A and B are shown apart, each in its own frame.
Chain A
Amino acid sequence: MATDTVLHDDVHHKDGENTDAWSGAAQPFEVSYGKLMMWYFLLSDAFTFAGFLIAYGTLRFSSPTWPVPDFVFKTAPFGIHEWFPGGHAPLIFVTFMSFLLIISSVTMVRAVQEGHRENKNGVVYWMILTIIGGAGFLGCQAWEWTNLIAHEHMTVNRNPFGTHIDHGVYLNADGTESSDIFKPGDSFLIHKDGHGHGHGGDHGAEAGHGDGHGHDAHDDGHGHGAAHDNIRKDVDLKHEYVDKEGFVHRKYKVTEGRDVGVVKQEAFGPKSFGALFFFITGFHGFHVLSGVVFLIIICLNVASGLYVKRRNGYEMVEKIGLYWHFVDLVWVFVFLVFYLL
């Protein structure tokens, strides 16, 4: 320790004449401490998100099937998906959500620019628009989660979105083959008994399976109508099996391959899908939420004239701007892996 002190004193003596960038007199990266640390915080946060996304990729690669995103995310609020052919609006709603984040990112850049011009009212104006964009995104996400949890019954450990691996044909109530056929890769959603109609949007209107993707378990027209008051549990019928939790697994006969003629029932999709979806979009949504809170605080500070007093060119606005762009950046990748691929 003694030598440390000596060395320290040595440096201290030279302080006046030392102009080296790393001696503390200058900022080596030509950037303030706060902004530099924001960059490093974002770097560490990027690693956290990357950990999530790598886990997602690994589990997806290891699963024989994976829910098709354009089947899972095909609904939109206010029945907007009904306007689209077949009553599906694949990825439309989530594209709208992406636009909200992009636009709020652009308004954030404008706020930073107005800060450079020392235009207080401009900063407040563009920050308010940014806050509205972020809050709008959160509202959309709340709707999406509500739809998935309350109407489609997805949870962190149950994924009702399955994918067929056989060629097959669904069975009628009397055990005969119906006209409803499917091929490997077609998706289906296992509904809860009594929840088959009027929820989530895609039901009822979809009778024809026209696009070759949608084979929902609800539209066979048997047993559901009467089941609204009396939800069946653990019932094994010729055309469907209602499990202990009330999920209706439709039965089908395999028409091609090794298991020809075998009657099987729809199985749940890969379990990890629900956990990955809720944790990754939830973690991103939490970032958006905290971003909105900080934007509001900083916007109030701008309006109160705090940063004019500090005379540092609205640096706090730049810092929250970096964070806000990062949230948009993460969404680019969440959008890629969950919705596009």
Chain B
Amino acid sequence: MKPWRDPGLWLSLLVTAAIGLWPAVAANKPYAREMMFTVLMSVGLASSLNIMQGYTGYVNFGHIIFFGLGGYVGFYLLSVYHAPLYVAALAGALTAALVAFLLGKAILRLRGAYFALATIGINEAARSFVKNFDPFGGPTGMTLKFHVYQAYGGANQALWITYIALVVLTLLIILVSYLVKTSKFGLGLMAIRENEDAAEVMGIVAPDAKTWAYVLSAVFPGIIGVLFFFKNGNIEPGDAFRLQQSIEVIVMVMLGGQGLVFGPLVGAAVYQRLRGYLLVSPLFKNIQLAVAGLLLLIIILFVPAGLIGWLRGRFPRLRRWLV
């Protein structure tokens, strides 16, 4: 089927666009923008992780290192060289791609739990490295001088520009996720997920396919990191390489349904809204991560296919829409 005739693709893009446009119609626009920035960021992170975890079947606890490294490199260019945002974003993407390529060559020969363990180690290693790397400000990180925002017409306008860039990027990620899933490359990845040895016997060059999937899934968090820390105005190792954030992204992917385009999108949006609610609730605000853990447990035990996967199984007619 041609992509533009697939209602499933349109539904995913429309939902993303609706999230993105919400601040334009909401009453308190800056507040809505901040809220939706978090949601879109999660959608982007979850959908890009899904290429690795959902399509290829490699659980990755280190997705956030690409967010952190891309963010750091972009931030460095922004603060030290006063590079334009798009140059910083491009540098973040390239850094993440390069790191993923080299890492992939090293750790993608590991399978299952061994790969997952290696990715946890890498997250810690990246944090330690940046903490002790003086050009990046060491443990205190870096802060943007306020005049950097002047080039974008002031801080307020800079925040809107960053937000719009994130909306466009998220739409692009959804499109890429869809194109990968419906391509020959994607079929190869899913064959690897189902049975890597059998896939190789069929002629799928698994080492290459896995490496490119890893690179592709790393590029987007690299850009998102640049946008996020530009908006934030400062960056430090603890914020850039937070293992719990990697875990939260995994929860989002599984909550919505891994291996689907629409699944991580819904999972990320639902999770972030839930988290927003928990954070302001007096009862849950200190244990919101415990809730995430419990949620993951419940999904794995009772709805391993995730929300969208469950709907697809329960109502086969919806399959056309929920790709």
Q: Do A and B come from one complex?
A: no
